Amino acid sequence: MRKRSLFFAVLALGAVWELLALMINKPILPSLTLVLKEFVLEFPGELGRHFLASAWRVIASMFFSIALAAPAGLVLGQYASLDRIFSPVIYLLYPVPKVVLVPVVILFLGINDLSKIVIIFLILFFQILVLVRDQAATIRPELLYSVRSIGAGRRALFRYVYWPASLPAVLTALRQSIGTAVAVLYVVELIATQRGLGYYIYLQGSTLFDYPKMYAGVLAMSLMGLGLYFGTDVLHRKLCPWQFAHRSE
Partner 1 sequence: MIDLQNVSFGYGRGKRIFEGFSWSAKRGEAWVVLGSSGCGKSTLLYLLAGLVHPEEGKVRVGDELLERPRPRTGLILQDYGLLPWATVQDNIALGLRVRQFYGPDGRHAPRDEKTPQINEKVEEWLEQLGLQEVAASYPGQISGGQRQRAAIGRTLALNPDLLLMDEPFASLDAPTREGLQRLTLRLNEESGLTTVVVTHSIEEAALLGRRVLVLGLPPNRTARVVKNLKEEQNAQDRAGLVERLRGMLESRE
Q: Does 242 bind partner 1 (CB under 8 A)?
A: yes
Which whole-number Å values give the CA distances from 196 to 30, 105, 215, 224, in the listed order?
Answer: 23, 18, 15, 12
Q: Provide the b/e sequence for 31-70 (b: ≥16 CB within 10 Å).
A: bbeebeebbeebbeeebeebbebbbebbbbbbebbbeebb
CB of 151 to partner 1, least distance (A): 4
Listed ranges 120-128, 163-171, 191-199, 216-224: which one lies at the site for partner 1 (CB under 8 A): 163-171
Select from 3, 149, 207, 238 the one that contacts partner 1 (CB under 8 A): 149
Question: Cβ distance 188 to 119 under 8 Å?
Answer: yes
The residue count for binding partner 1 (CB under 8 A) is 28
- Residue 238 binds to partner 1 (criterion: CB under 8 A): no
150 binds partner 1 (CB under 8 A): yes
Residue 152 in the binding site for partner 1 (CB under 8 A) = yes
Of 60 and 152, which CB lies nearer to partner 1 in the complex structure? 152
Identify each DSSP E strand in the chain by its residue range: none
Is the dihedral angle over the CA atoms 105, 98, 138, 59 positive or is it negative?
A: negative
Residues that bind partner 1 (CB under 8 A): 140, 142-143, 145-153, 155-156, 159-161, 164-165, 167, 240-242, 245-249
